[in-house]
Each structure stands twice: as C-alpha cells, then as structure tokens.
C-alpha cells in the first residue's frame, strides 16, 4: 500500500471548492499537538451540490467505500445523494472520512461556526477551534481521542496562561 498523501487529499477538496471543516487528527496537529495521523477527517456539507463537488474533486483518486467488503466505487447520484450521511473513503491519496455531524459539536453549519481558517500544507481551509475539538474528543472518548485530548487541554492551558 502506498504512503498516504494527505496534503494532496486536502488540496483536492480545496481546489474542488468542497465545503468542509477538518475535525480529526489534522485539526489536532494544526492546534500544535504532537500527534500522528494517517487520514483526513472532515465534517462535510451534505447538500447535493457539495457532494457532487466532492465526487468530482476525488474522481482521479479512485475513491471507494472502504467500509464495504466489495470496496464499491464512490458513485453519488441524484437518486442516492439525499440519503448520504457519512462517507468512509479510501482514495489513491489516502483515507478520507466525511461526516455529516460531529459528536459534541453538531452538523456542518455548527462545525463551520466553531472553526477557524488556517494555512495547512494542502492550502487554506477551516479546522475546528480548540474548544470545539476538545468537546468533540470528550464526546467520542476513544483511546486515540483521549491522547489528543490531553495534548489539547495542555495547549489550551498554556494559551490561557499566556493571556494573563
């Protein structure tokens, strides 16, 4: 299996004008935590035109549904677009998880309202604020989220101390 190119994956979303907010490990890293991530997790606007932009942006990366045994190709159609809630994709660039909402935060609109624009190696995009990310990690509470949460809380504490 080839090395993921998460920078290229993020750049595809940006260039494709997909409406998304980065919510996972890359957001944690963007806030200064020393964690490693191997995928891109986003909260995505599930409006039909945005999902069609997503499909177009990823087309030459051969996206497939990674949670299905058959690894079916991504095929968003007028018939199925309104039923999509989450997309768990494997692409030539790496893994992309597109969620309709974020635990502890809410849907795309809520995630967007609780995000900041940052410059990442793949381009300028939005990531959850540190406070929203802390709430999301607390809500999910998996092992890797607990590790990220410890880092985020320490960063937040340093930020607060520097303000006083």
Q: 150-162 pLDDT, tens per residue?
A: 999 999 999 999 8
Q: pLDDT exceeding 90 applies to what percent of the chain? A: 87
DSSP lists the bridge partners of residue 44 as: 20
In this predicted structure, the answer to whether residue 1 has a pLDDT above a threshold of 60 is: no
What pLDDT score was predicted for residue 4?
A: 80
pLDDT single digits (tens) 34-46: 988 899 999 999 9
What pLDDT score was predicted for residue 141?
A: 84
What DSSP string runs through 45-93? Answer: ---HHHHHHHHHHHGGG--EETTSTT-PBP---TTTGGG--EEEEEETT
Residue 164: band (very low, low, confident or very high) from pLDDT cuts 50, 70, 90: confident
Helix (H) or strand (E) holding 102: strand 101-102
**Cβ(91)–Cβ(6) below 8 Å:** no
Residue 26: band (very low, low, confident or very high) from pLDDT cuts 50, 70, 90: very high
What pLDDT score was predicted for residue 64?
A: 97
pLDDT single digits (tens) 76-135: 999 999 999 999 999 999 999 999 999 999 999 999 999 999 999 889 999 999 999 999
In this predicted structure, the answer to whether residue 144 has a pLDDT above a threshold of 70 is: yes
Where do the domains of the chain lie?
Answer: 6-159
Q: Rounded to the nearest 5°, which phi and psi values hold at 48?
A: -55, -50
Asked if the 6-159 domain carries CATH number 3.30.460.40, the reply is yes
**Cβ(58)–Cβ(74) below 8 Å:** yes
What pLDDT score was predicted for residue 139?
A: 95
In this predicted structure, the answer to whether residue 2 has a pLDDT above a threshold of 70 is: no
What pLDDT score was predicted for residue 107?
A: 97
């Amino acid at each position: 299996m080839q090395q993921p190119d998460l920078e290229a994956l993020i750049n595809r979303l940006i260039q494709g004008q997909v409406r998304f907010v980065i919510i996972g490990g890359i957001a944690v890293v963007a806030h200064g935590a020393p964690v490693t991530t191997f995928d891109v997790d986003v909260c995505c606007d599930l409006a039909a035109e945005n999902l069609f932009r997503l499909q177009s942006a990823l087309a030459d990366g051969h996206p497939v549904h990674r949670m299905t045994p058959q690894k079916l190709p991504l095929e968003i159609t007028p018939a199925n677009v309104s039923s999509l809630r989450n997309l768990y994709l494997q692409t030539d660039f790496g893994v992309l998880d597109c969620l309709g909402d974020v635990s502890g935060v809410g849907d795309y609109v809520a995630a967007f309202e609780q995000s900041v624009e940052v410059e990442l190696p793949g381009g300028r995009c939005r990531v959850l604020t540190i406070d929203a990310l802390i709430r999301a990690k607390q809500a999910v509470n998996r092992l890797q989220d607990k590790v990220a949460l410890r880092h985020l809380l320490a960063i937040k504490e340093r930020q607060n101390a520097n303000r006083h």
